[in-house]
Structure 1
């Protein structure tokens, strides 16, 4: 019988890399240089510092992504406002149906006249919102 203690090739575990990175280098930075390094690292959007350092050393292009949080917040609030406008439109249709169903035509038209005045105010406000949005986009969201 053959001895079972002989080395057997097991097929479990991680596959070995073809060209493993085994050469390591160490650098020391003072507080000022470290702050600059971390700022550049944060701007790059790369999640691993080693990848960022190798990209800088070998002069690979490092893309920096700047997210304007004011623009994101403005967009979120504008989206919420838009959904409220849709809700107002739905409610407007339901109110008109209820007015004609539950009131006389004279009384319903009087209420509709008041509703029409409020709608005109809403139109003026929406025009101001559109104007402010265009100004915001022109100033802060310059597309390059």
Structure 2
């Protein structure tokens, strides 16, 4: 590289920051204050304590994320159950095709009548699930 007729060698490494953080401060905390600080730091889910402290000082807003294990478990089970319902719908279509292909019209209609009763029961269960989910959301998630 040339700059004003002189050759500049690249030494490698990081490029220097435009505004490096060189001012350092030290504080001392009692055991009680330290325990409170650490609990606040852990609930903030921040990775670096220095970033947490600067956010506290300049009031940038500390985000505290609390994960409710029961809510997560309910959500995961509900998701699995809806996946199974979709699987039942796929199987339902396949059963109807097989019935009409392998049986007479009268026999296929009799089996479809039984299948229709079971489907009505599943629809009622699905409505109950939706009602319970809405009730759960209003009681526990909308705080």
- The normalised TM-score by structure 2 is 0.80
Give 1:4's aligned residue. none
Ranges in structure 1 where 5+ consecutive residues have no aligned partner: 1-7
Offset of 1:30 from its aligned partner? 4.0
- Deviation per residue, 1:55-102 (Å, 9 max, x gap): 212333223233333333322222221111111111101111111111
* Structure 1 ranges of 4+ moved more than 4 A: none
Is 1:66 aligned to 2:66, yes or no? Answer: yes
Structure 1 residue aligned with 2:82:
82
The separation in 2 between residues aligned to 1:31 and 1:117, in whole angstroms, is: 67
Corresponding residue for residue 120 of structure 1: 120
Q: Cα deviation per residue 1:99-124 (whole Å; 9 max; x = unaligned)?
A: 11111222222211221121121111
Cα 1:131–1:12 change in 2 (3 A) is: same
Indicate yes or no: 2:41 matched with 1:48.
no
Paired with 2:95 and 2:9, the residues of 1 have a C-alpha distance of: 78
TM-score, normalising length: structure 1: 0.80
Decide which moves more: 121-130 or 100-109.
100-109
Structure 1 vs Structure 2 CA RMSD: 2.1
Q: 2:107 maps to what in 1?
A: 107
* In structure 2, distance between residues paired with 1:56 and 1:35: 16
Aligned equivalents of 2:52, 2:83: Cα separation in 1: 42
Question: Which 5+ residue runs of structure 2 have no aligned equivalent?
Answer: 1-7
- Name the CA distance, whole Å, in 2 between partners of 1:31 and 1:106: 82
- Please give the alpha-carbon distance, in whole angstroms, between the structure 1 residues aligned to 2:116 and 2:31: 65
